[in-house]
């Protein structure tokens, strides 16, 4: 027999949560977790409506700043290492830059454009799909980059 799980709500009132035993005899909740959408409406979580995840662990950022070595040709950022939790790129040049973590960066396609003077960073909870490449049309375009 599994004992009920009792928690205290925001007003410190004890609340019983419905539980059962899982296949291993461990306590398992019967409540469906919910998340709040952009309209402020709560609904059950699902593959299309996952709970928001925020990386609270954090890790030191690694510098990947540099410049475009050959205009019109994509190059890998961070020595080809896929960032564990995310990355950012700041365009410190006078022409647009493009980044991609799903293939070779180019001026268009699946690449993300970064306007002159702008910074692009991965959203909270986003894990890069692969190594990050950067594209600039002009040799020596400067950029600042960090991965974490």
Q: What is the pLDDT along the chain (148 residues), one digit of tens a residue?
A: 556 667 776 677 777 777 777 778 777 766 666 666 667 777 777 777 776 666 566 678 999 999 999 999 999 999 999 998 899 999 999 999 999 999 999 998 999 999 999 999 998 878 899 999 999 999 999 999 999 8
Domain membership of residue 80 (yes or no) is: yes
In a domain, 108, yes or no: yes
- Looking at the chain, which runs of residues are DSSP E strands? 5-8, 14-17, 19-21, 27-29, 34-36, 42-44, 62-63, 66-67, 75-76, 87-91, 97-100, 112-114, 119-121, 133-136, 142-147
Are 142 and 95 found together in one domain?
yes
142 in the same domain as 75: yes
Say if residue 81 is in the same domain as residue 130: yes
CATH number at residue 72: 2.60.120
**Residue 54 included in any domain:** no
53 is a domain residue: no
- Overall number of domains in the chain: 2
- Give me the domain span that covers residue 93: 62-147
75 plus 134 within the same structural domain: yes
Decide if 52 is inside a domain.
no
The 3-state DSSP class for residue 13 equals coil
Claim to verify: residue 22 and residue 89 sit in the same structural domain:
no
């Amino acid at each position: 027999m599994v004992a009920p799980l009792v928690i205290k709500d925001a007003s410190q009132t004890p609340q019983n949560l419905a539980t059962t035993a899982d296949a291993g005899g461990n306590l398992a909740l019967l409540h469906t977790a919910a998340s709040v959408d952009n309209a402020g409406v709560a609904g059950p979580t699902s593959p299309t409506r996952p709970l928001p995840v925020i990386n609270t662990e954090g890790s030191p950022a690694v510098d990947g700043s540099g410049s475009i070595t050959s205009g019109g040709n994509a190059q890998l950022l961070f020595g080809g290492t896929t960032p564990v939790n995310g990355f950012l790129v700041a365009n410190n040049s006078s022409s647009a830059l493009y980044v991609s973590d799903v293939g070779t960066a180019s001026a268009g396609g699946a690449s993300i454009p970064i306007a002159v003077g702008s910074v692009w960073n991965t959203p909270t909870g986003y894990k890069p799909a692969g190594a990050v490449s950067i594209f600039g049309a002009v040799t020596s375009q400067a950029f600042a980059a960090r991965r974490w």
